Amino acid sequence: MIARILELSVRHRALVVMLTVGLLALGLWGYRNVRLDAIPDLSDVQVIVVTEYPGQNPQVVDDQVTYPLASALLAVPGATDVRGVSMFELSFCYVLFEDGTDIYWARSRVLEYLSTIRDRLPAGVQPKLGPDATGVGWVYQYALVSDRHDLAELRTIQDYYLRYPLSSVDGVSEVASFGGFVKQYEVLLDPERVRAFGVSVTAVAAAIESSNRDVGGSVVERSEQEYMVRSRGYLHGVDDLAKVPVGLGANGTPVLLGQIAELRVGGEARRSVGDLDGKGEAVGGVVVARFGSNAFQVIKDAKARLEELKPGLPEGVRIVPTYDRSLVIQRAVDTLRDAVFEELIVTGLICLVFLAHVRSAIVALIILPIGLLVAMLLMTLLGINANIMSIGGLALAIGVMVDSSVVLVENAHKHLQRARDLFEKSGVPMPPQPEIVLRRSEGGGTEPVQLAAHHHGRVLAHLRAGW
């Protein structure tokens, strides 16, 4: 089989060149489309179920939410393990699947089982799926810095101006916000006034909820035209909130919320804070890449989107990158590129100095980039990302490929020189070099050179001993 391949290669060199060019083009395609990351992803295929249970301690969350969910999710097809974690107001269930399981198939199976367990959970508790990412999906992080805005304003900018456009970037699974204060309106009831007006806390909550909505009233037809009826009731600030009626007084006059409560703008209770360079609290966001995405491209697109959003930021607000994995990825790629260039230069010089043959040096130099491109093509087709480990392996393999190409070229030169010397001594015209290379590859360096008979009509028997 190998001898037949060698014969075809020697006798059809134009076809070999065409196949090499085609393989080179495919390798370039694989190089441009290979997924780049800095860290090899060794995490399991998992689906995270997140459930909020406001105001409850970890023991209650574990008994009423985590345990029922974990028990039901054990029956999910393909699941190998289910792990539950209970925290204050939060429940996490991690469903692990067998290696090779499609992540979106797993998420759909978990979602089916969640629909069957909702009636076993406390009223108002709604479990939801976590982001379709892995443990190494944290690829980019930034902070918002300003000397003119407080933490609440910066958090509002992050949540309503930056997060949603970044979430639309291809390959982004989630944009998580951290730090600052989430803006909320606080209603502090005065017990004495509530009792004096005879208003209950439940009635106050219901009144606020019913007053903060728009309601449609169908249409009214006038002069063959329809006019849509709409009641505009959204609250736009503390002043609107103070005018919400919560009941009736003794003489039938409406009791307003501002008469029984203190209204103010505050921040939601926080479970964590963000810090920047040890100089104080900061607000920022974390870009999480989707499972199986190209981390390098995701970071590049996310940074481009941030550049588009910068002109719309309030004056004085700056975006400061605090973690950028693309820098590590770029350094790893640069290391491989430098190693390739160095090996190409050394190999070319060695072939030119010791063989004094330009074409042989070109052959040795072509093997190295083609081998790397073929490796990139296979990685792309198999879905393997290029990370520090795989790129390091390619860098080590460069030495092996260089050695093999130099050895083969030098060996071919040795046999050609021996044949040239013997034919000069015998006075017989030398056959074409491809015929000599093919004959020596078939004989493995032990049979005599008899290929001259094919060209000149006689056997060079005296070359047997000389070879």
CA separation (Å) from 447 to 6, 387, 465?
A: 17, 48, 10
pLDDT digits 0-9 by tens, 343-369: 778 877 877 777 777 777 777 778 778
Strand-by-strand arrangement of the 90-97 sheet: 79-87, 90-97, 45-52, 128-129
31/466 Cα distance (integer angstroms)? 50
Supply the pLDDT for residue 320: 92
Supply the pLDDT for residue 437: 63
DSSP 62: I
> What average pLDDT does this structure show over 272-289?
88
Catalogue all structural domains in the chain, each as residue range(s) with its CATH number: 2-35+329-466 (1.20.1640.10), 44-133 (3.30.70.1430), 190-264 (3.30.2090.10)
Whole-model pTM?
Answer: 0.76
Angle at 335 between CA 332 and CA 338, to 5 degrees: 150
Residues 6+ positions from 18 with CB-CB distance below 8 Å:
none
> What average pLDDT does this structure show over 295-311?
92
What are the φ/ψ torsions at residue 79 (nearest 5 degrees)?
-75, 130
pLDDT mean across residues, the chain: 83
**Helix (H), strand (E) at residue 287:** strand 283-289
Handedness of CA 95, 101, 102, 106 (dihedral sign): negative
CA separation (Å) from 31 to 256, 309, 385?
A: 68, 31, 11
Residues 6+ positions from 415 with CB-CB distance below 8 Å:
436, 437, 440, 445
467/449 Cα distance (integer angstroms)? 7
> What average pLDDT does this structure show over 270-296?
87
> What average pLDDT does this structure show over 85-100?
91
pLDDT digits 0-9 by tens, 8-40: 777 777 888 888 889 889 989 988 888 888 888
* Residue 7 scores a pLDDT above 80: no
Supply the pLDDT for residue 440: 61
Confidence of residue 299 (pLDDT cuts 50, 70, 90): very high
* 188 bridge partner residues: 262
- 438 versus 143: the higher-pLDDT residue is 143
pLDDT digits 0-9 by tens, 172-186: 999 999 888 888 888
* Residue 449 scores a pLDDT above 50: no
